[in-house]
Amino acid sequence: MKFIYLEKRTLFILLTISSFLFVSCSENKFLFVFNRTKVKNYQPNKPFVYSNKVIVTGNASKDEKNRLTAELNNYWDDSLKVLKLQKFGVFYTIKNPPVFDSINVIRTAKFMNAYLNSQGYYYAQIKDSVPQKKDTVRDQIRTSVIMKIELGKNITIDSVSYTLTDSLHTSLNDSALQTLAMQQFPSSLLKKGRPYTKQAIGDELDRLVSWFKQKGYYKFSREDIFALVDTTNDKLFRLTLDPFEQAKLIAEADKRRRENPTWKIDIRQRIIKDTSKLRKYYVGNIYYYPETKLSDIPDSLIRKKWVRQTINEKGDLILRDHIGKFKMRPLREHTYLRKDSINGEFNEEGYFKTISTLARIPAWKQVDSRIIQRGYDTLDVHFFLEPAIKQNITYNLETSRNSNDFSSGNLLGLALSTTYTNRNVWKQAVQSNTSLRAGIELNFDTVSSRRNLIQTFQIGLGHSYSFPRLITPKFLKLGRKSDNKRTVLASSASYIERFETYRLRQLTGNLTWDWQKKNNAYSWKPLNIELYKIDTLPLLDTIFKQNPFLRNSFNTGNVIGASFTITKSIISKKNPNNSHLIRLGIDESGLLLPIIPLTVIPDLKNKIYQYIKLEADYKFNQKRRKTELAFHVFSGIGIPLGGQSLPFFKQFSAGGPNSMRAWGLRQLGLGSSKASDTISSNSFRDRFGDMQLETNLEYRFTIANINGFKIGSALFADIGNIWNTRKNLNNPGAEFSIDRLGRDIAVAVGTGLRFDLNYFLIRVDFAYKLKDPGRDAHNGWSSEFRWKERRANNNQTEVRNFGFQLGIGLPF
């Protein structure tokens, strides 16, 4: 009997995993099960293209073969392309398939060979295979076209050189470009021994042109240089009168060419008749027009005689306006072109960086520019900035359900928030936000003896200033060569009361420095102050008696510390559809207490929480035309110091629409502890832990696209839990132990619908508890499908094995 029960459990798990893998794989991988493709509007008894496939073989790496296979699929002749419409992520439909013609196969081979040549594969062999199979049931002649490609040896670079002198010697600076190129030779994208590709050569030419434009060669362009590729062998030019020796040399050269083909690359300058292209230009005056209207013509503004003009001390920055809405400082601080820069050369990179940086400031809606040549080698730059609406008020209505099953839940949250925004405070392009938020949580539980319609009430007021620069002490050299610099000064106050449970008063203030450098975004809060006052009410006191371990998390205390976060985004060079995001964060409070004399603030250590909190987040996305694979890993730990406990508002929680979706909000954990399950279902059962591990996997696909309104779905798996870092005799199984990790981990699988309204996305997910740490039997694994079950405790607590979640946006 035990064997049969275990077999049912294994079969249920295998069926669940198989259903997930079934739709996440391509259609062709399951043809042996049944045919999921339907053909419409085909020509009877005539061969048509049913499928195509590229098979790449050779000595290249697996990643290189996968890259080439994906790229070669873009080079099918139009008459050989198969357009399959995916439905419900499982089924496919082919409409109006083209009639097969062997001439199109020959054309495809030429297209693919040209692409392989551009990638350095000049010795590839392409063979086509066109098996035909007639459907005996219907009048379809389905043709599958297969292109088999043997890559052969890839061409590598033998040497790289620059010849950038003016061949006509019409310029006095005919060797200046050669000197500049040699300065950046170590940064060349072409290296000896690397694979030869036309893309690499094109990137190198672009890099050189960009470098020249940074050094003042404003009119120099990509058309003025080219790459000369030498494929000959020097030994063939050796003089010999012996025809047999000459034939031997040719044979040896051909052998080496096929075994280890190498080419020489020389970057050369074309014959330039326009000498202005070889002239170095310098920055002249910079003009700002911060009150430009949409109807204004830039050329007319340049020629206009302005009455109001603000000129800096050096006379190179000029602000022209009508009524003086803006001061020059935010414009000057975001300008990366100056007369007093190194040698005063016009730097095109700084020019475009100025435009993009000014466009990111909320005070302006749009930024345009003009470059006007003055004299022989001087460039004046004019920036036209259209102001955004200075002030506005927005209203937001929010709703939520705090339940494991929103269709039968008993808590409904409603909140109204109002935000006033001023985008140009003190005429310095500083943005201020003032927000007021009020919300209630309604209880429709008719069973609870403690029924009260308003379960929770909260109100909050916040105000912040965002400065478009880093305001730091002079000794702190922070973000000197960075972008998107911002200083945020924020404060807020809030009051939350949960019926007969607790009252929470909160007052916060912080200073934040944000900046970005290439793909790295940084956020540093050098000062973060959070003052809390918690009043426990009768219901929470009763819960403390049932679960004493909760009492330490609800102690009154304050947070005075700092935090730092770095976020790195990576887009794969080999496959731009693959993106990675890594976030690392540290948050601390009370670390400076040991160096502060206790006589300054008596009993200070007992009023301020002391802890270190670490977080690590990783996301991976692989996007295709109609599908997407998303992977997410999160880990976090809070380490209390000084014998204290981590406050509950800094602890981790699991469950809800964005985390472990088979469980309700904050209803998973801790570990395999059952302490929270023993509490009455009408009591406070939120769960908080010092540590969290979680992994999420989603396969997303489109179901339908109706006039731009997209309906999608997903299959997902959530794996994780939360724990405490310290052992508590009153809550066994709640602390983290590597030996018990397999027992404590929770596993959920599910599916859902996503309604993409362009501006936002509404998500409805259903998840089932495949493994619940609170389940005693079979190490927590589900042996058979059950909607509900009872815990093996004194209360025989009934719990759901599923969860419905309503969310806004993607979960990760």
Per-residue pLDDT of 272-315, as tens digits, reads 888 899 999 999 999 999 999 999 999 999 999 999 999 998 88
Instruction: Characterize the bridge pairing of strands 282-289 and 691-706.
Output: unpaired
643, 789: one domain? yes
Instruction: Judge if 235 and 128 occupy the same domain.
Output: no
* Average pLDDT of the chain to the nearest whole number: 84
- For the cut 70, the answer to whether the pLDDT of residue 379 exceeds it is yes
pLDDT mean over 166-177: 60
Q: What is the pLDDT of residue 167?
A: 53
The CA angle 695-697-698, to the nearest 5 degrees, is 150
258 and 345 in a single domain? The answer is no
pLDDT of residue 15 exceeding 90, the answer is no
Instruction: Count other C-beta atoms under 10 Å from residue 236's C-beta.
Output: 11
Q: Where are the beta strands (DSSP E) in 224-363?
A: 225-230, 262-269, 282-289, 309-311, 317-320
At 21, the pLDDT band (50, 70, 90 cuts) reads very low
For position 409, what pLDDT does the model report?
40
Q: Are 672 and 773 in contact (CB under 8 A)?
A: yes
Residue 774 pLDDT grade (very low, low, confident, very high; cuts 50, 70, 90): confident
Looking at residue 95, its pLDDT comes to: 83
What is the β-pairing status of strands 47-57 and 141-150? parallel
Res. 227: pLDDT tops 70: yes
Residue 23: the pLDDT is 47
Q: Are residues 256 and 124 in the same domain?
A: no
Mean pLDDT in residue range 716-734: 88
pLDDT band at 589 (very low <50, low <70, confident <90, very high): very high
For residues 723 and 671, what is the distance between their CA atoms, to the nearest angstrom? 5
pLDDT of residue 1: 40
Question: What residues contact 560, with CB distance under 8 A and at least 6 apart?
Answer: 528, 529, 530, 589, 590, 592, 608
Residue 256 has what pLDDT? 60
Residue 553, pLDDT > 70, answer no
Q: In terms of pTM, does the model score above 0.85?
A: no
Sheet (strand 262-269) strand order: 156-163, 262-269, 225-230
- Residues 71 and 109 occupy one common structural domain: yes
pLDDT for the residue numbered 463: 98
Regarding whether 394 and 365 lie in a shared domain, the answer is no
How many domains, in total, are found in the chain? 5
Q: Name the band, by pLDDT with cuts 50, 70 and 90, for residue 732.
A: confident
Residue 670 preceded by cis peptide, ω within 30: yes
Is the pLDDT at 680 greater than 90? The verdict is no
Main-chain phi, psi angles of 75, to 5 degrees:
-110, 20
The residue from 102, 120, 150 where one domain ends is 150
Q: Between the ranges 220-234, 338-352, 365-379, 753-767, where is the mean pLDDT highest?
A: 365-379
483-498 vs 502-517, strand pairing mode? antiparallel
pLDDT at 24 over 50: no
Domain that holds residue 188: 156-276
The C-alpha atoms of residue 98 and residue 108 are separated, in whole angstroms, by 15
Report pLDDT for 445.
55
Say what the alpha-carbon torsion angle 354, 360, 362, 365 is, to the nearest 10 degrees.
80
Question: Is position 594 within any domain?
Answer: yes
Query: Given pLDDT bands bounded at 50, 70 and 90, which one contains residue 790?
Result: confident
Q: What is the mean pLDDT of residues 75-88?
A: 81
Q: Which of 90-94, 623-627, 682-686 has the lowest mean pLDDT?
A: 682-686
531 and 636 part of one domain = no
* CB environment 187-208: b (16+ within 10 A), e (fewer): eebbeeeeebbeebbeebbebb
pLDDT at 136 over 70: no
**Inside any domain, residue 328:** yes
Beta bridge partners of 723: 691
Angle at Cα 677 formed by Cα 537 and Cα 504, nearest 5°? 25
Same domain for 126 and 174, yes or no, is no
* 237, part of any domain: yes
- Mean pLDDT within 524-538: 89
Of residues 535 and 459, the one with the higher pLDDT is: 459
Portion of the chain with pLDDT greater than 70, in percent: 81
Token pair for 223? 């058309």
Whether residue 197 is found in the same domain as residue 139: no
Note whether residue 369 is domain-resident: yes
CA pair distance 723, 69, nearest whole angstrom = 45
In a domain, 796, yes or no: yes
pLDDT at 22: 47
Last residue of a domain, one of 102, 123, 150: 150
Crossing angle of helices 102-118/198-214, nearest 10°?
50
pLDDT of residue 569: 96
Residue 27 within any structural domain of the chain: no
Of these ranges, 241-245, 541-545, 790-794, the one predicted with the greatest mean pLDDT is 541-545
Confidence class for position 576, pLDDT limits 50, 70, 90: confident
| pLDDT of the residue at 6 | 42
pLDDT band at 769 (very low <50, low <70, confident <90, very high): very high
Check whether 403 has a pLDDT greater than 80: no
pLDDT at 765: 94
Last residue of one domain, picked from the residues 110, 127, 150? 150
- What is the pLDDT at residue 532? 86
The two tokens of residue 50 are 């049913």
Q: Residue 553: inside a domain, yes or no?
A: no
- The Cα–Cα gap between 610 and 591 comes to 7
* Inside any domain, residue 585: no
Same domain, 494 and 479: yes
Rounded to an integer, what distance in angstroms lies between the CA atom of residue 288 and that of residue 325? 13
pLDDT at 563: 96
Q: For tokens 């935090």, name the residue.
A: 563
Reported confidence tier of residue 4, pLDDT bands at 50, 70, 90? very low
Answer yes or no: is pLDDT of 448 > 70: no
Identity of the residue numbered 325: K
| pLDDT score, position 456 | 85
Which CATH number is 99's domain given? 3.10.20.310
What is the widest separation between alpha-carbon atoms in the chain? 112
Co-location of 371 and 418 in the same domain: no
- Residue 503 and residue 456 share a domain: yes
**Tokens coding 634:** 């999160």
Summarize the confidence of residues 194-213 as an average pLDDT.
93
